[in-house]
């Protein structure tokens, strides 16, 4: 047995599922907080779990450089190292090494690059990426791929996608089957529907435990993102989880779930929490704005988080303007709680057959 995925309810293309891993079950649709360096910034593991999250994302590239995958393995694996008892998905490192630009060289073998920390030389191949994720103890391993820059000429996108598919096959062969652990393939193809469909078909032929849609949310715009999801999802198996990588804003999540997506990750709620932005049922708020300075009300009257139940907008404005660490902690707690509650509300709406109504209401709030 690897990971198991069971669909519990449908409403149109939207679905509720349960993903079973070695470290517990995840109800989908689900949002995964990003824990780049074995920590969700400004949050303790207990605080992350209290938001409702049951899976976080770790970063292969950063963890291989510091503290090192072998060191994490010798200390009991990533779950023990970061005191997170629930599931962990690790990215492959492909996106990060591609962003190094002048510091890396791509070949059929993999990516040779210099560390952004100390300039040391490294070679990340599909086999090494998968092995690093095994050493970390990831519940869900991601296949190694190239994230094609946007915009790029079609011929460059096609060549990049084909390389990613060859790397996907090598990643799949390198994966060590074990109970409760799985590997996910990543669809590439830029903004070209036919390339997306071809990539999806190749990954299904190889055979993965789940399928991700990568290479989006990098400047192409929401309408194009949704169009690529619509071009891809029909070619993916119904009985495997679907993960839209790097997305996104609340209305991005709702629109993607409407189109059959199950899982998401994004730095937006945590990064926003550190820069004074809060997501609420009435839209996004900038706590730096002077209009909050005398407001005794909560960020969101319907929110259950500690920032909303214990503090006023005026106090949070004061913390943000003063540069206090507590501002980042409280606003990140709020944003991750909001995202967890949003996905829970989507699950409830799908079960009740009300997802179209929910989508209309949520999009109106976002506007």
Q: CB-based contacts of 271: which residues, under 8 Å, 6+ apart?
A: none
Helix (H, G, I), strand (E, B) or coil at 160: helix
Catalytic one of 11, 145, 209, 265: 265
The span from the first CA to the last CA of the chain, in angstroms, equals: 44
Half-sphere exposure of 180 (CA within 13 A, CB side): 12
**Rounded to the nearest 5 degrees, what angle is found at the Cα of 47, between the Cα atoms of 299 and 9?**
80
To the query of whether residue 91 is one of the catalytic residues in this protein, the response is yes
Cα separation, 40 vs 82, whole angstroms: 10
To the query of whether residue 295 is one of the catalytic residues in this protein, the response is no
User: Which residues pair with residue 242 across a beta bridge?
Assistant: 211
Structure tokens at 188: 């590439």
Catalytic one of 91, 252, 262, 341: 91
User: Which residues pair with residue 213 across a beta bridge?
Assistant: 187, 244
Pairing of strands 242-244, 210-213: parallel
Location of structure tokens 């999009």: 363
Q: Are 249 and 339 in contact (CB under 8 A)?
A: no
Structure tokens at 165: 């598919």
The DSSP-derived string for 164-203 is HHHHHHHHHHH----TT-EEEEEE--TT-HHHHHHHHHHH
State phi, psi for 52 to the nearest 5 degrees: 115, -5
Q: Catalytic residues, which ones?
A: 91, 265
């Amino acid at each position: 047995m690897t990971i198991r995925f069971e669909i519990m309810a449908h409403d149109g293309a939207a679905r509720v599922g349960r993903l079973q891993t070695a470290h517990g079950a995840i109800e989908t649709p689900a949002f995964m907080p990003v824990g780049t360096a074995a920590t969700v910034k400004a949050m303790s593991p207990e605080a992350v779990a209290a938001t409702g999250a049951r899976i976080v994302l770790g970063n292969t590239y950063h963890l291989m450089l510091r503290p090192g995958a072998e060191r994490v393995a010798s200390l009991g694996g990533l779950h023990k190292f970061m005191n997170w008892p629930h599931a962990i998905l690790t990215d492959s490192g492909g996106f990060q090494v591609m962003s190094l630009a002048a510091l890396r060289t791509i070949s059929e073998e993999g990516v040779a690059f210099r560390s952004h920390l100390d300039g040391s030389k490294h070679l990340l191949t599909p086999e090494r990426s998968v092995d690093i994720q095994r050493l970390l103890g990831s519940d869900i391993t991601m296949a190694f791929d190239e994230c094609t820059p946007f915009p790029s000429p079609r011929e460059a996108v096609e060549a990049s996608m084909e390389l990613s598919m060859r790397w996907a096959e090598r990643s799949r062969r390198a994966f060590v089957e074990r109970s409760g652990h799985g590997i996910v393939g990543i669809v590439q193809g830029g903004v070209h529907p036919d390339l997306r469909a071809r990539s999806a078909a190749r990954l299904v032929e190889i055979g993965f435990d789940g399928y991700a849609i990568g290479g989006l949310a990098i400047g192409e715009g929401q309408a194009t993102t949704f169009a690529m999801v619509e071009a891809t999802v029909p070619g993916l198996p119904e009985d495997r989880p679907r993960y839209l990588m790097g997305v996104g804003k609340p209305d991005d999540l709702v629109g993607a779930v409407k189109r059959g997506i199950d899982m998401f990750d994004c730095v937006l709620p945590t990064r926003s929490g550190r820069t004074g932005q809060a997501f609420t049922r009435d839209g996004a708020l900038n706590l730096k704005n002077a209009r909050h300075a005398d407001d005794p009300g909560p960020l969101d009257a319907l929110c259950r988080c500690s920032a909303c139940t214990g503090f006023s907008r005026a106090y949070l404005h004061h913390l943000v303007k003063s540069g206090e660490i507590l501002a980042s902690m409280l606003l990140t707690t709020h944003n991750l709680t909001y995202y967890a509650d949003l996905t829970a509300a989507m699950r409830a709406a799908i079960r009740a057959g009300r997802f179209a109504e929910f989508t209309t209401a949520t999009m109106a709030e976002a506007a």
